[in-house]
């Protein structure tokens, strides 16, 4: 035997010896191919960070339980490809630094497979930047924001948003207002950050082309400063505004409509999708918004004939029975419903990469309650791309009309036209379980 | 940093003396001939002293049980200006461990490890001089103790940069390195320092001189006058965090911003974000708020500005001493922001995350507009071409490349040496490591793949989850020495953990395996996170 061959044999013998030792010493799982973090043959662990307490938590803090309710229903019916889905929830108080820390903990300590349904423009920009989700290949699906910047695939390769972009929303509001309130004096209150700046793009002459008699940009948090909302009312009232668009957060809407009522300022209110739900903050304010216009991409939660609403309500009654089935429950359960489809489309050998690839290839075809199409593709991180308009009824619910017939608009974040949608929503799968 | 330095004190931190180091004169190095080593032959540890050929005082502690391994310590930044009445003195005494920490020295000598270091021949920005001194000192030690086999270099702050440069230039002398919160290459470090100094001067007190200091004592006095002005400015900003009032010394452009309703705290935060200083500090986490209605507004609108202020107070003395020292050494200003586009230095994430602290996008645009290079009310600094050429020809710029097994430690919110300095080293190393793996795969295709061993381990000193505290009335309470914040805010236990890893690396030629799963890390408030993404210094991202 040559020295080289002898050395090779010795190495082989050593490897066999070490291998035998390993076989006896290690659990079986260690010998299988490297496991994807957060997913095993029997479980998938997901994470979410959002405000659960504090002034920004109203409504949003109902989302996790609604999502869990749907996951529980799926788990009770065999799970996703045999895997039970769990959701780890962390409260960030709507603070970017806390959202960063929560996400780091969810990834590093809780070992979640993916983030899902996280809330907020700034928080998710902060997280993507500081936690480096893109480079680490960690999915953050169905983020609840409409900031158009998230469609930058190079900056956010693993993030996807659920809401139509704020540019789309402003374009659709422009069309609605011009058709409904021609020749009226239109005024705008908007938040002076990326959220509001996106809206300004949607309203500008190249997009929605809506002209304002008066507009005010309010810095975030200033809405809570005594005297500030009253100053808005004074200025808009003096300008003779007849239609008042509010593109701000719910607390801004709340203080604004209360100040307006006090000063007997009574315009036609158009409340943007983000800040319309003042009833969640204080149900006593419902009278202030009765008749106000807002928009949604989901059916009205009180629609008596919608099959998705009916099925989600039924599941909710079993798995989240202590909570009221409201628009937040619908949003949460719909997000969970989409998540289950994405996980399923990721395949039996589920990986973070396969999940992201599945969203790109199949995401636009996922069944869901939305009345507008989903927009996911290899070039788009954005979910819904349209809205229907409705008014708040005396119970504080947004309804399209008495007969619950929807006129749905769709558009893009560019200069494309706002058009009536011909989208035909897929039927609710049997038993509310995706195929 | 040496033994006593620019400690931040949250609220009482801003005074002229607290911004300056309380440096103790031992003796300025003057000798130009090597002496020693002269040893006392004491047992169980003998002490040897002497001077290197450039006059640096050195010291060696050599145990009777010397096992052939020696550590060489590089101390941090010291004042190169002597003005005792203002608390500025030059300390060139030999340093063999952080603050000559007796427990750490004993820890090493008890293991049979010799411990050496010098005070260097000059202070201030002394990277080139210090590397030469260290190389010579290693030779002196080996000549005296001929059974020396392994040399481990270590240092923090300026000394961290010296250690890294030493390893880059003389890998043949070293078996391992411990690099703690290192300075970056001068080009990057000076941009950080002078951006901070210039932005503060530009908005809050244009009468500050900053450049063109005279030589000698006259220049010392000019610099001290600047220190006094920065002190007054920071005190004014601290006093008006709640009201938003601007210092009376503010520029005309700044007063226009004030008239537009932009609070000074927003401008202060902007200075920090443009320069790249952390907006989390020892007292302010940007997460916790008082148990009042400000529970959300506080961490968004006030805490980032206060953290910036606390961090600036910790770095500004170093920044000014360093900038002035380099002007003296090079015979003129080497910093140049005549074409800098400061708007580009505000990242998209910062614009969103700190939006409330900035008072909104309109305020951001207004503040950035006053920093336009064409604004005559914001005169830029133009480098002296002769001084610039001299610096480029004579100063070594560290590359951050890893050439010997290296362990790095840094606080994630270090105000003097931002974590991005180390992030860049880590990112560059990951590229090199990936290339090494590919090369190994390629060359070992026939005999099987043998993975290369990592040469770099980065230990991040991290903060608790939250650490800000408030009185029952909702007022913030100063918090000292929060882990992960402050400059060289390390413990003896952390030092010895790193040293043990480095000694293992020196012995085996590779870093210990599975350092990241070491149970001690959590207890030591350290973490290894290869997914970290601290922003690089602005020099690399905007130039």
In tens, the pLDDT along A56-76 reads 888 899 999 999 999 999 999
Q: pLDDT per residue over B64-98, tens digit each?
A: 999 999 999 999 999 888 888 888 889 999 999 99
Q: pLDDT per residue over B287-305, tens digit each?
A: 999 987 778 889 999 999 9
Q: What is the mean pLDDT of residues B161-187?
A: 97
| Contacts with A155 from chain B: Cβ below 8 Å | 348
What pLDDT is recorded for position A45?
Answer: 98
Burial of A430 (0-12, 13-18, 19+ CB in 10 A): exposed
Q: Are strands B150-156 and B114-118 parallel, antiparallel or unpaired?
A: unpaired
Q: Do A95 and B300 touch (CB under 8 A)?
A: yes
**Mutation target vs A (from B261, B292, B360; most A CBs, 10 A cutoff):** B360
* Domain spanning A166-296, CATH architecture: 3-Layer(aba) Sandwich (3.40)
Do residues A244 and A173 lie in contact, with contact meaning Cβ atoms separated by under 8 Å?
A: no
According to the CATH classification, is domain A43-164+303-384 in 3.40.50.150? Answer: no
Round to whole Å and give the CA distance between A357 and A368: 19
Do residues A166 and A146 lie in contact, with contact meaning Cβ atoms separated by under 8 Å?
A: yes
- Name the 3-class secondary structure at B177: strand
* Extents of the domains making up chain A: 1-32, 43-164+303-384, 166-296
Q: What is the mean pLDDT of residues A403-412?
A: 96
Please determine, for residue B6, whether its predicted confidence score (pLDDT) is greater than 50: no
| Contacts with B484 from chain A: Cβ below 8 Å | none
Q: pLDDT per residue over B296-329, tens digit each?
A: 889 999 999 999 999 999 999 999 999 999 999 9
The distance of B364 to chain A (nearest Cα, Å) reads: 10
Pick the range with the lowest mean pLDDT from A32-46, A62-76, B166-180, B461-475.
Answer: A32-46
Number of Cβ atoms within 10 Å of the Cβ of B58: 28
Number of residues in chain A: 435
What pLDDT is recorded for position A244?
Answer: 98
Residue of A55, A56, A97 with shortest CB distance to B286: A97
What pLDDT is recorded for position B444?
Answer: 67
ipTM for the complex shown: 0.85
Please determine, for residue B1, whether its predicted confidence score (pLDDT) is greater than 50: no
What does each C-alpha distance from B453 to B385, B440, B511 come to in angstroms? 45, 11, 8
What does each C-alpha distance from A358 to A113, A155, A344, A366, B461 come to in angstroms? 15, 20, 9, 10, 38
Q: Do B287 and A95 touch (CB under 8 A)?
A: yes
The distance of B494 to chain A (nearest Cα, Å) reads: 22
Q: What share of chain B is helix, strand, coil (3-state, %, to 5)?
A: 45, 10, 45
First to last CA, chain B: 28
What pLDDT is recorded for position B445?
Answer: 65
Same fold, A43-164+303-384 and A166-296: yes
Q: pLDDT per residue over A356-384, tens digit each?
A: 999 999 999 999 999 999 999 999 999 99
Percent of the residues in chain A that have a pLDDT greater than 90, as a whole number: 81
Give the pLDDT band (50/70/90) at residue A35.
low
Tokens coding A159: 């993030």
The distance of A196 to chain B (nearest Cα, Å) reads: 9
Round to whole Å and give the CA distance between B462 and B482: 9
What pLDDT is recorded for position A30?
Answer: 32
Pick the range with the lowest mean pLDDT from A164-173, A279-288, A310-319, B194-203.
Answer: A279-288
> Closest Cα to residue B273, out of B1, B4, B542?
B542
**Residues with Cβ within 8 Å of residue B348, at least 6 apart in sequence:** A125, A149, A155
Q: pLDDT per residue over A89-134, tens digit each?
A: 999 999 999 999 999 999 989 999 999 999 989 999 999 888 889 9
Q: Do A192 and B360 touch (CB under 8 A)?
A: yes
The distance of B368 to chain A (nearest Cα, Å) reads: 15
| Contacts with A136 from chain B: Cβ below 8 Å | 531
Do residues B77 and B158 lie in contact, with contact meaning Cβ atoms separated by under 8 Å?
A: yes
The verdict on whether omega for the bond into residue B50 sits within 30 degrees of 0, i.e. cis, is no
Q: What residues pair up with A83 in beta bridges, in sequence order?
A: A80
Give the pLDDT band (50/70/90) at residue B141.
very high
Q: What is the mean pLDDT of residues A27-51?
A: 75
| Contacts with B464 from chain A: Cβ below 8 Å | none
CB proximity under 8 Å: B 452-471 to A: 465
Cβ–Cβ contact B352 with A under 8 A: yes
Number of residues in chain B: 543
Residue of A54, A125, A135 with shortest CB distance to B296: A54
In terms of CATH, what superfamily is B16-184+398-542?
A: Alpha/Beta hydrolase fold, catalytic domain (3.40.50.1820)
Q: Do A192 and B347 touch (CB under 8 A)?
A: no
Tokens coding A136: 């680490």
Do residues B153 and B72 lie in contact, with contact meaning Cβ atoms separated by under 8 Å?
A: yes
Round to whole Å and give the CA distance between B207 and B251: 9
Please determine, for residue A2, whether its predicted confidence score (pLDDT) is greater than 70: no
> Closest Cα to residue A139, out of A413, A405, A345, A415?
A345
Q: Do A97 and B347 touch (CB under 8 A)?
A: no
């Amino acid at each position: 035997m040559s020295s080289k061959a002898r050395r090779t044999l010795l190495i082989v013998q050593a490897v066999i010896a070490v291998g035998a030792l390993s076989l006896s010493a290690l659990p079986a799982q260690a010998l299988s191919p490297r496991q994807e973090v957060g997913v095993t043959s029997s479980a998938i662990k997901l994470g979410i960070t959002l405000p659960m307490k504090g002034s920004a938590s109203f409504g949003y803090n109902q989302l996790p339980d609604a999502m869990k309710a749907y996951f529980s229903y799926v788990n009770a019916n065999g799970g996703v490809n045999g895997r039970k889905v769990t959701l780890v929830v962390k409260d960030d108080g709507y603070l970017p630094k806390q959202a960063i820390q929560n996400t780091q903990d969810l990834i590093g300590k809780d070992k979640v497979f993916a983030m899902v349904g996280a809330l907020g423009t700034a928080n998710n920009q902060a997280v993507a930047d500081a936690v480096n989700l893109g480079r680490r290949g960690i999915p953050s699906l169905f983020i609840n924001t409409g900031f158009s910047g998230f469609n930058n695939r190079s900056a956010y390769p693993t993030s996807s948003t659920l809401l139509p972009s704020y540019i789309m929303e402003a374009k659709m509001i422009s069309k609605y207002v011009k058709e409904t309130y021609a020749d009226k004096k239109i005024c705008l209150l908007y938040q002076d950050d990326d959220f509001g700046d996106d809206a300004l793009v949607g309203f500008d002459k190249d997009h929605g082309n809506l002209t304002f008699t008066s507009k005010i940009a309010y810095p975030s948090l200033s809405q809570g400063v005594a005297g500030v909302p009253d100053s808005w009312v004074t200025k808009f009232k003096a300008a003779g505004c007849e239609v008042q668009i509010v593109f701000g957060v719910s607390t801004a809407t709340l203080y604004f409509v209360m100040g307006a009522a006090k000063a007997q300022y009574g315009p036609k209110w158009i409340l943007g999708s983000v800040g319309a739900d003042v009833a969640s903050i204080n149900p006593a304010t419902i009278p202030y918004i009765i008749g106000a216009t807002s928009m949604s991409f989901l059916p009205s939660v009180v629609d008596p004939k919608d099959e998705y609403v009916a099925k989600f309500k039924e599941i909710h009654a079993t798995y989240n029975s202590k909570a009221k089935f409201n628009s937040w429950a619908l949003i949460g359960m719909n997000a969970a419903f989409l998540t289950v489809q994405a996980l399923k489309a990721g395949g039996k050998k589920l990986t973070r990469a396969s999940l992201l690839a599945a969203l790109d290839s199949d995401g636009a075809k996922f069944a869901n309650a939305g009345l507008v199409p989903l927009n996911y593709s290899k070039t788009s991180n954005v979910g819904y791309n349209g809205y229907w308009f409705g008014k708040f009824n005396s119970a504080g619910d947004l309804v399209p009309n008495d007969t619950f017939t929807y006129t749905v608009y769709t558009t893009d974040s560019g200069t494309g036209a706002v058009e009536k949608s011909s989208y035909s929503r897929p039927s609710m799968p049997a038993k509310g379980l995706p195929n | 940093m040496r033994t006593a330095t620019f400690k931040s004190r949250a609220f009482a931190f801003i005074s002229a003396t607290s911004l300056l180091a309380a440096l103790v004169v031992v003796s300025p190095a003057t000798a130009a001939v090597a002496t020693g080593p002269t040893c006392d032959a004491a047992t169980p540890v003998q002490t040897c002293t002497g001077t290197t050929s450039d006059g640096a005082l050195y010291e060696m502690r050599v145990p009777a049980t010397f096992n052939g391994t020696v550590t060489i310590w590089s101390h941090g930044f010291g004042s190169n200006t002597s003005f005792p009445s203002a608390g500025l003195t030059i300390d060139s005494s030999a340093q063999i461990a952080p603050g000559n920490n007796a427990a750490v020295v004993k820890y090493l000598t008890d293991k049979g490890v010799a411990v050496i270091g010098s005070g260097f021949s000059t202070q201030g920005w002394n990277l080139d001089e210090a590397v030469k001194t260290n190389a010579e000192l290693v030779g002196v030690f080996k000549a005296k103790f001929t059974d020396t086999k392994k040399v481990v270099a270590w240092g923090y702050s300026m000394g961290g940069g010296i250690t890294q440069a030493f390893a880059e230039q003389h890998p043949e002398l070293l078996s391992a390195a411990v690099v703690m919160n290192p300075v970056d290459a001068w080009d990057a470090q000076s941009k950080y320092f002078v951006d901070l100094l210039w932005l503060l001067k530009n908005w809050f007190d244009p009468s500050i001189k900053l450049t063109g200091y005279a030589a000698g004592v006259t220049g010392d006095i000019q610099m001290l006058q600047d220190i006094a002005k920065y002190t007054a400015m920071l005190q004014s900003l601290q006093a008006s965090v709640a009201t938003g009032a601007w210092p009376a010394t503010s520029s005309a452009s700044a007063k226009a911003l004030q008239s537009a309703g932009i609070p000074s705290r927003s401008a202060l935060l902007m200075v920090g974000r443009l320069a790249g200083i952390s907006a989390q500090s020892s007292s302010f986490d940007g997460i916790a708020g008082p148990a009042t209605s400000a529970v959300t507004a506080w961490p968004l609108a006030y805490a980032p500005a206060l953290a910036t202020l606390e961090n600036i107070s910790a770095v500004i003395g170093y920044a000014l001493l360093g900038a002035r020292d380099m002007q003296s050494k090079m015979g003129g200003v080497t910093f140049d922001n005549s074409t800098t586009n400061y708007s580009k230095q505000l990242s998209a994430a910062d614009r969103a995350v700190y939006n409330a602290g900035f008072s909104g996008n309109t305020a951001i645009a207004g503040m950035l507009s006053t920093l336009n290079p064409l604004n005559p009310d914001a005169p830029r600094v133009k480098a002296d071409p002769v001084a610039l050429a001299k610096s480029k020809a004579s100063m070594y710029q560290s590359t951050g490349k890893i050439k010997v097994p290296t362990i790095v430690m840094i606080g994630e919110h270090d105000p003097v040496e931002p974590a991005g300095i180390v992030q860049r080293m880590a990112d560059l190393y990951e590229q090199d490591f990936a290339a090494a793996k590919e090369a190994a795969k390629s060359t070992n295709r026939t005999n099987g793949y043998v993975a290369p061993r990592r040469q770099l381990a980065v230990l991040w000193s991290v903060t608790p989850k939250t650490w800000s505290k408030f009185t029952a009335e909702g007022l913030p309470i100063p918090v000292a020495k929060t882990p992960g914040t402050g400059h060289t805010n390390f413990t003896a236990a952390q030092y010895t953990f790193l040293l043990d890893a480095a000694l293992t690396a020196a012995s085996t030629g590779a870093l210990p395996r599975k350092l990241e799963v070491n149970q001690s890390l959590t207890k030591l408030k350290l973490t290894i996170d290869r997914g970290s993404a601290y922003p690089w210094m602005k020099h690399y991202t905007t130039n």
